[in-house]
Structures are given as C-alpha cells and as structure tokens.
Amino acid sequence: MPKLRKFTDWLLFADEDYLAVAKPAYVATLDDRSGRPSVLALAAAHYPDVQVCHRLDKETSGVLLLAKHNAAYKHANSQFASRTVEKTYHAVVDGRHTFSGLEINLPLHVAPSGVVRANNKTGKPSVTVVTTVQQYKQHTLVACTPVTGRMHQIRVHLAARNAPLVADTLYGGEELYLSAIKRKYTPKAGTAERPLMPRVALHAYALKFRDLAGNEQHITCPYPKDFRTLLSQLDKNR
C-alpha cells in the first residue's frame, strides 16, 4: 500500500454540510479487517459526525461523497435511492471499441463466492451507459455512467461486451506490460517486469448531486499517478 498523504490533501469539495474527497486506491471506504485506516476513520478525526454517502471498492480511486451531519446524510441518501445522483467512472479496457451512449442492461447476480455474473433469472436489474473517450492501439478509455449501483457492475457489464478492464483478471481482463505495447522494449536483465497498472483500471471521475440548498454540485477528481501513467504510455505507443 502506498504512503498516504494527509487526509486534508484529499479534499475536492467542502461546505457546511458535505465534503468530497479523492479516495486513493487500496484505501477502504469503511473499516475492514486489514486494520488500516479507512476513509471514514480518517474523516472522523476531523469531522466527528461524518457519514459516508456511498462506497467505492477498495481498489477503485476517485471522488467519494461524505456528509458532515445526519440531515445532510439523509438528503444525499434520498438522492442515491432515487437514482438522481449522477456518477461517472473512467475505465481503460482491452480492445478498441466505439461506444456512443451504449446502454448495457444485464441483470446481475452475486454468487456466494463474491463473483458477480449476468443472470436473467436470479439477477437484479442493472444498467450502465458507456461512451468511448479515447481509442489507443489495442485499448480504449471509456466513460461509464451506472444507472444502478450493483457490486462490480461496470466490470461485469464491460466484460460482457468483450471489453474487460485492464488488470481485471477476475472478469477476463489482462495485465498490461510496457513490453506488450512499446517496440523493442525489454525489461532489465534479472528483473521481472511489472504491469503498468497492478490494479483494476477504474477511477470514479465525477459525481453530481444537489446540496441542502438545492444547488447542483458537480465534482470531478483528477486521475491518480498510476492511471495517468497508464494513459501516458498508451498515448506514446499508439
């Protein structure tokens, strides 16, 4: 796990009621068995009554909304429940794809093992809208708007369209090495080559919601270093 910056350095937005942070990869949203500090625990050191309004998977980086008090939490929670919060994720997927507002509508079922599969009989309704942002030689950067919020939804939906996420080996994605995209590149003798991005290539890029005053807040989160490095290498080696 990389060294963490100060929690206050994560802030993307703050007012009297809410704060949004740039959650780093490998930091859990809520406390888990690892014993490492979660986003909630770190936030509570500054805001005693803080509550998390939604969750991001531990490996996923990006914008995460928290409420500073219970009234703000209930207000945000009602928006998530009614699906009026707009979330946008950016992902790098295997293959070249041209998606233009593609709606992927596949019911998803979570197995006891934690693996998620499309299943028309036992799955819960799940919808994701996907648009191509940038194509590279053998990969594509896509923007995904999940209408529903199922576990692993974006990962499974894209895999079903033959576009699994880079490094998402659970759902058919492949780890990406520089030697696979850069001509005449070989790693140093005696050293094992590391993947350009060792985690699933998924980033919570933007979130749009209404604050307690009814104003629309649109928050974006810059790419973290590993995501920037991946895109930079794909761009250089088109």
Write out the catalytic residue numbers: 57
Q: What are the backbone dihedrals phi and psi of residue 3, each rounded to the nearest 5 degrees, phi first? A: -65, 135
**Tokens for 158?**
């894209």
User: If DSSP states are collapsed to H, E and C, what string results for the chain?
Assistant: CCCCCCHHHHEEEECCCEEEEEECCCCCCCCCCCCCCCHHHHHHCCCCCCEECCCCCCCCEEEEEEECCHHHHHHHHHHHHCCCCEEEEEEEEECCCCCCCEEEECCEEECCCCCEEECCCCCECCEEEEEEEEECCCEEEEEEEECCCCCCHHHHHHHHCCCCECCCHHHCCCCCCHHHHCCCCCCCCCCCCCCCCCCCCEEEEEEEEECCCCCEEEEECCCCHHHHHHHHHHHHCC
Cβ distance 73 to 53 under 8 Å? yes
Closest to 138 in 3D by CA, of 89, 182, 172? 182
- Spatial distance between the Cα atoms of 178 and 82, rounded to a whole number of angstroms: 43
